[in-house]
Structure 1
Amino acid sequence: MKYPNAKKIDLERKTLLPGFIDPHSHFGMVSNTMGQVDLNPEPVGTVTDIEDILANLKAYKEANKIADGEWIFGWGYDDGELAEKRHPTKNDIDKVLPNNPVYLQHTSGHMGVANTLALEKMKVSADSKNPEGGNIVRFPNSKEPTGLVQETAMYPFVRHMLEELASKQAKFFDTTQQYYAANGITTAQDGMTDRNTIRFFQAQADAGKFYIDLISLAGYSELESNLKDSTLHFKTYKNGFKVQGTKIVADGSPQGKTAYFTKPYKSEVPGCTHDCRGLPSLTQDELNKLFVMAYDKDNQLFVHCNGDATVDMVLEAHRNACIQLNQPLDKDRRTIVIHAQFARQDQLLKFVQYNMEPSFFTNHAYFWGDVHVENLGKQRADFLSPMVSAERLGLKPTNHSDATVTPIDPIFTIWTAVNRVSRSGAIIGEKERAKPYLALKAITSNAAYEFFEENFKGTLVEGKLADFVILDKNPLKVKPMDIKNIQVLETIKEGKTVFKK
């Protein structure tokens, strides 16, 4: 017998697939939410209005016996799903928590709201200037901040939040890992990781605490120092953990109206009165320098961009770097355009020409499809995450959750790619509804390719790792609208069961 230790197992009509590979989420942020107030709307949470947010904050302080002066963090609020159709302000939060610094992270992850005490601690006032690539939103006819900070203006608040929650990393690490495994994921991702957290993950790995693989993307602000660090070995697993490449954030959120477009938003944009097309997080020159630095050292880039204007910037940065370094435009670097949600058809053709790959986000069709129609118009909304067009051109698109933005749930990701149904039941882009097989490839074989792992992950082929997921039904055979009801029964990593229902 070729494999003497092999066992024959009767699946009893269940479905065996390659273990799901997470193309893009934020493992560390998912873990951090376990120490924050859940402010998500349905179907993730229960918040319907600002009063619900305030009640949840007050209840959290009381239940956890948080003393005055201590920070309180919340996550997942969505102004578009609140009855008031607006962001909470510092004045709202001050009503219930005047004596605690409070920061609430928007569901997009690209903005948040701070109360008066938190603004004071982060030294944000009426005299503060907007940082490059960011916006401190003010009350009408005033310089007084409302508490809403967008894009780079939120960075100090997020940085402080991560510092405050760092002590809880170990406490929530295994719970987070089990959450991923329970959803059939055998390879997870942390979509932007600072050096301290990289050290933490590697320490966990070296202590033998990983039972699924974790891929980390280092932050672009540390790119130069990371490339000079001889102890940091990119693209190389050590005990189930590796740092694959570098994540660049180039613009914002379409539902938060900070994604950068060539044409303006069709609805009112907070903090903007004219030609409201969103915000690039970096200038073209800054982006160009990062691409040159990374390409010169063969460092794989993963670039967050949602709006088509930002995709133009990324394509230009790629072209410029190749010219400066005298490298072929189509070298096999596998630069990944994260989200690429509103990439135009001509930009997809450039991805082919430049050998770049998109990682799409079809969950937006469900969670914010109706909002995108209102904010961007039907034509742009319908071409959201164009998986079908991308594959037709020969690209290998992946599809992700971007958790914490939407929940870790690869089955739901398949469902949104296939159906593209919004909360209201509208179809967001009939022509871009994917076949279930393409939706599966986006979280298996295509995802393996994204990370240069196609030789040992992503398909059921002899010689590859025994990374499997067992489902109660076959996504290729059930009715499209029933896909989201499929259950993960077991997750197997390199032949060992790491989750069983």
Structure 2
Amino acid sequence: MKHILSLILIFNLFSCKENNKDSNESSKLYYNGDILTMEGDSPQYAEAIVAQNGKIVFVGTKLKAESKFKNSEKIDLKGKTLLPGFIDPHSHFGMVSNTMGQVDLNPKPVGNVTNISDILKNLKKYKEDKKIPDGEWIFGWGYDDGELTEKRHPTKKDVDKVLPNNPVYLQHTSGHMGVANTLGLESLKVSAATKNPDGGTIVRFPNSSDPTGLVQETAMYPFVRLMMEKLDSKQAEFFDTTQDYYASNGITTAQDGMTSRESIKFFQSQADAGKFKIDLIALAGYSELESNLGDTTLHFKTYKNGFKIQGTKIVADGSPQGKTAFFSKPFLTEVPGCHHDCRGLPSLTQENLNNLFETAYAKDNQLFIHCNGDASIDMVLLAHENACKKLNQLLDKDRRTIVIHSQFVRPEQLDKFVKYNMEPSFFTNHAYFWGDVHVQNLGKARADFLSPMVTAKKLGLKPTNHSDATVTPIDPIFTIWTAVNRVSRSGQVIGASERTTPYLALQAITAFAAYELFDEKLKGTLTAGKLADFVILDKNPLKVQPMEIKNIQILETIKEGKTIFKK
């Protein structure tokens, strides 16, 4: 109650500067529901909220709202729940868009693939349905060897059976490896004579140098670049559909988590043409760091027509389910292409990582570093220390370096996050999709400390939680569910002590997500003066049984006062 009264007093001071005409013009007053403000570390509710000219102009009692905004359009929530619009802490908007031009090879519950035969059927059907001529590339995405009956990756020989005359590349669900068929390998000149690149592996058949078709980490980069080039030409075609997909999931701010210079230009052109329905935040790719920082046409940390380049994304290691994440201790199960001390791979040398940090910190460029394994986090902490020392900067300067995923962070590394003013962006969807796999590959103790949101919050950190789409689907409600329950596909709980409250799970995609992106003055809470970005749910995540959270429906998404999705 004190919190609501404080908000009323703040608004009264703010509104004295406005005349009655302005304060009563084209406003919408929402009432009669659970209006959850997301301010503070415990739930705070308001009776009413008023949006006008794209911003929140009042949060408080219904009586005061009606008195102040007599001509408002009144919207009865009828007991539904209104929250700040969801903020996507990390996904790949461009890749989500590109999947609309690929073959869906996801296992259940996302797709229908259960074995390699299903993959081949889907590929063959796609070629026939789309009337794709011989010689044209075909791309697939989302297969998961751990969920296939055969418990292995498809090989070039498998794919050649149904598509012998088309080059093919199939992206693994992790996004850190994929399989090419014979024509695909030949097209990019990968053969028995090709050496493994630094930070990558071309997997070979047993007792042979002949590639199976599986390429991991940096070895897949040429295939991914080619795929993006082929599919980027269709970005404009899929742009609106992709925005609608995000909006239908309650997201008012999306992220493109590894954006090329060409994609940055495309997104800005769409924004300048007035085509944005939601805000989009780009993380520029680290390979172009120096040239990006020297380009005066790129304005980091500043929105222009709904588009902002926030910082730079670095990839420090691979994926845990793909056994390419970089750990301090070995995997417990066999790793393809490795025969001794199999701890995964760093994607960069320590020297390269140090140079990237120093270059970025010198220009106050925010860094977002993909780290799954604890050894890669060690490398990041060392790079941070090195850059601060060389540049004579404070270790805890408010630069908000974000360690994306931080999946298997160690407790003492979280202590350093606090000391260095760094933040983790966790990925609790892994508990459901690959929790069982992590127990097998890493052991129960490591698996249970997956994405430790509770521990991080107790230390004073502001953890966010993401989908990493296309790795897992865009579905914030499901992500809340995985954070609260941490239940795997088989039904086992992955780290019971790290199960969050529903409120913390919501903070991770609202207030804390805004903080991660330096947007806390614009969005993330229902506060007078912030953008009128809302999501309306049929039920309150704080008031249903934890296992029922995933059944909550998005009813409406509102961006700056305008409905962009309604069920």
Q: TM-score, normalised by structure 1?
A: 1.00
AA matched with 2:507 = K
Q: Distance in 2 between matches of 1:7 and 1:414?
A: 29
Among 25, 35, 44, which residue is 2:91 paired with?
A: 25
CA deviation vs aligned residue, 1:199-245 (integer Å, no higher than 9, x gap): 00000000000010000000000001001101101001111001000
Q: SS where residue 421 of structure 1 aligns?
A: coil
Q: What is the CA distance between 1:80 and its match in structure 2?
A: 0.1
**Residue of structure 2 equivalent to 1:4:** 24
CA deviation vs aligned residue, 1:101-142 (integer Å, no higher than 9, x gap): 000000000000000000000110000011011000000111
AA matched with 1:122 = L
Q: Distance in 1 between matches of 2:562 and 2:23?
A: 16
**Residue of structure 2 equivalent to 1:480:** 546
Q: What is the CA distance between 1:185 and its match in structure 2?
A: 0.2
Alignment of 1:83-98 (within 5 A): 83-98=149-164
**Residue of structure 1 equivalent to 2:211:** 145
Q: What is the CA distance between 1:456 and its match in structure 2?
A: 1.3
Check if 1:72 corresponds to 2:92. no
Q: SS where residue 7 of structure 1 aligns?
A: strand
Alignment of 1:92-107 (within 5 A): 92-107=158-173
Alignment of 1:141-180 (within 5 A): 141-180=207-246
Q: Distance in 1 between matches of 2:330 and 2:352?
A: 24
Among 169, 175, 188, which residue is 1:122 paired with?
A: 188
Alignment of 1:25-64 (within 5 A): 25-64=91-130
Q: What is the CA distance between 1:367 and its match in structure 2?
A: 0.2
**Residue of structure 1 equivalent to 2:416:** 350
Q: Distance in 2 between matches of 1:228 and 1:201?
A: 20
Q: What is the CA distance between 1:10 and its match in structure 2?
A: 1.3
Q: What is the CA distance between 1:7 and its match in structure 2?
A: 2.5
Among 322, 331, 344, which residue is 2:397 paired with?
A: 331
Check if 1:466 corresponds to 2:537. no
Among 352, 374, 386, which residue is 2:440 paired with?
A: 374
- Could you tell me which runs of 5 or more consecutive residues in structure 1 were left unpaired when the two chains were aligned: none
**Mean alpha-carbon deviation: is it higher for 443-452 or for 162-171?**
162-171
Q: Distance in 1 between matches of 2:393 and 2:436?
A: 42
Q: Structure 1 runs of 4+ off > 4 angstroms?
A: none
Alignment of 1:389-428 (within 5 A): 389-428=455-494
CA deviation vs aligned residue, 1:429-468 (integer Å, no higher than 9, x gap): 0000000000000000000000001011000111111000
Check if 1:270 corresponds to 2:336. yes
Check if 1:440 corresponds to 2:506. yes
AA matched with 2:177 = M
Q: Distance in 2 between matches of 1:433 and 1:357?
A: 19
Alignment of 1:179-258 (within 5 A): 179-258=245-324
Taking only the aligned residue pairs, the percentage that are identical comes to 81
CA deviation vs aligned residue, 1:357-382 (integer Å, no higher than 9, x gap): 00000000000000000000000000
Q: SS where residue 425 of structure 2 aligns?
A: strand
AA matched with 1:228 = G
Q: What is the CA distance between 1:3 and its match in structure 2?
A: 2.3
Q: How well do the aligned residues superpose, as a CA RMSD in angstroms?
A: 0.6
Q: Distance in 1 between matches of 2:506 and 2:453?
A: 12
**Mean alpha-carbon deviation: is it higher for 75-84 or for 7-16?**
7-16
**Residue of structure 2 equivalent to 1:319:** 385
Q: Distance in 1 between matches of 2:517 and 2:332?
A: 37
How many residues align? The count is 501
- Could you tell me which runs of 5 or more consecutive residues in structure 2 were left unpaired when the two chains were aligned: 1-19, 30-74
Q: Flag the structure with larger Rg.
A: 2
Q: What is the CA distance between 1:385 and its match in structure 2?
A: 0.1
Q: Distance in 1 between matches of 2:458 and 2:244?
A: 36
**Residue of structure 2 equivalent to 1:113:** 179
Q: Distance in 1 between matches of 2:377 and 2:234?
A: 37
**Residue of structure 2 equivalent to 1:388:** 454
Q: What is the CA distance between 1:152 and its match in structure 2?
A: 0.3
Q: What is the CA distance between 1:40 and its match in structure 2?
A: 0.1
Q: SS where residue 342 of structure 2 aligns?
A: coil
